[in-house]
A and B are shown apart, each in its own frame.
Chain A
Amino acid sequence: MTEIQKRLQTEVEKFQTVQKEYQKCVSVRQQLDAQLNENSLVKEELDRLADGDNVYKMIGPALVKQDLPEAKQNVQKRIDYISGEIKRQEGLIKDLDKKQDSHRETLSKLQQQFQQQQVKAAARS
């Protein structure tokens, strides 16, 4: 019985670490999503501008003038990078999801075994 208890405990610990990792991944993904959203809004706004309009970029506390095409390129690059990151995180999340499910299964099996043993032990004593 103690062996099963030990196995249960290690399994629970493993499950919890996976769960934590999963939550981390999800929050990172949410952040990336927000960034992507903001960047695409900026891109949309930059696309509306005419060639002569002045664009400034905030670097530290100072505003530095930047060419419109350069700004557009920059934002597009960022969008591409963030989209790639999102795909990567999504893969990670899928993997972790599977891991969580398998852990959950083994956990419920162990729990059942444990309960059966307890009932048996109670009946025997």
Chain B
Amino acid sequence: MASKSSQGQQINIDQLPIPQLNQLTQQLEQEIELFTTSLNQLKIAQTKFLESQECLNKISPDNDNKEILVPLTSSMYVPGHLTDVGKVLVDIGTGYYVEMEVPKGKDYFKRKMEYISKQIEKIQPVLAEKFKMKQGMENLLSVLDITLNVIGGKICVIIKFDWLKNMLQWTPLI
């Protein structure tokens, strides 16, 4: 219990009843899960943008009219020629596609990646803090658990003892 006195928040936690403590821990766990999945998704999105940006590097005037294989499915390709290397269609979300010139497309992906980096930077400190809070709660809860177990054990013993006494009193009658 010595570790709790350092921070104001954790002193508050001491005074809560156990059901609320449990509730708080549950809430914290849910929040941590949410933030972790969000973080992973953000990282996945970022790699996708990076891949798209690298693809754009291939669409340059040097490669105009060169032969390419176009994937129809993941295992079947048809030959084709690269025409119009100046413009690409970019998915900007919710079903909208915009025709952009290659430099503009690159700029788009760069902006998107910056945006995601910012989001990640926002989430990471929050997640770290939640983790710390959860650890504090768990420490407190385990201490409480032990004390409760001890108290519960005593009550149990008293009840059992009473029951035994009563049984001894009644046996002659049966």
A residues near B, CB below 8 A? 38-39, 41-42, 45-46, 49, 53-59, 63, 71, 75, 78, 104, 108, 119, 122-123, 125
B159 contacts across to A, CB distance below 8 A: 119, 122
A100 CB, nearest partner CB in chain B, Å: 10
Q: Which residue of A lies closest to B98 (CB)?
A: A55
Q: Are B96 and A71 in contact (CB under 8 A)?
A: yes
Q: Which of B2-10, B64-72, B87-95, B128-136 lies at the interface?
A: B87-95
B residues near A, CB below 8 A? 19, 89, 92-100, 108, 115, 159, 162-163, 166
Q: Are A56 and B163 in contact (CB under 8 A)?
A: no
Q: How far is the CA of A39 from the CA of B19 in the complex (A)?
A: 40
A59 contacts across to B, CB distance below 8 A: 95
A45 contacts across to B, CB distance below 8 A: 92-93, 98, 108
- The number of inter-chain residue pairs (CB within 8 angstroms) is 55
Q: How far is the CA of A41 from the CA of B163 in the complex (A)?
A: 70
A75 CB, nearest partner CB in chain B, Å: 7
A55 contacts across to B, CB distance below 8 A: 96-99
Can you list 25 A-B contacts with CB-CB less than 8 angstroms, sorted by A residue number? A38-B93, A39-B93, A39-B94, A42-B93, A42-B96, A45-B92, A49-B98, A53-B99, A54-B98, A55-B96, A55-B98, A56-B97, A56-B98, A56-B99, A63-B89, A63-B97, A71-B96, A78-B94, A108-B19, A119-B159, A122-B162, A122-B163, A123-B162, A125-B163, A125-B166
Known A54-B99, A56-B89, A108-B19; judge A38-B163 contact (CB<8 A): no
Q: A39-B93, A55-B98, A108-B19 are in contact. List 17 more A-B contacts (CB 8 A).
A: A41-B115, A42-B94, A45-B92, A54-B98, A55-B96, A55-B99, A56-B97, A56-B98, A57-B95, A58-B95, A59-B95, A63-B97, A75-B94, A78-B94, A119-B159, A122-B162, A123-B162
B95 contacts across to A, CB distance below 8 A: 57-59
Q: Are A46 and B97 in contact (CB under 8 A)?
A: no
Q: Are B163 and A58 in contact (CB under 8 A)?
A: no
Q: How far is the CA of A58 from the CA of B89 in the complex (A)?
A: 12
A104 CB, nearest partner CB in chain B, Å: 8
Q: How far is the CA of A125 from the CA of B166 in the complex (A)?
A: 8
B101 CB, nearest partner CB in chain A, Å: 10
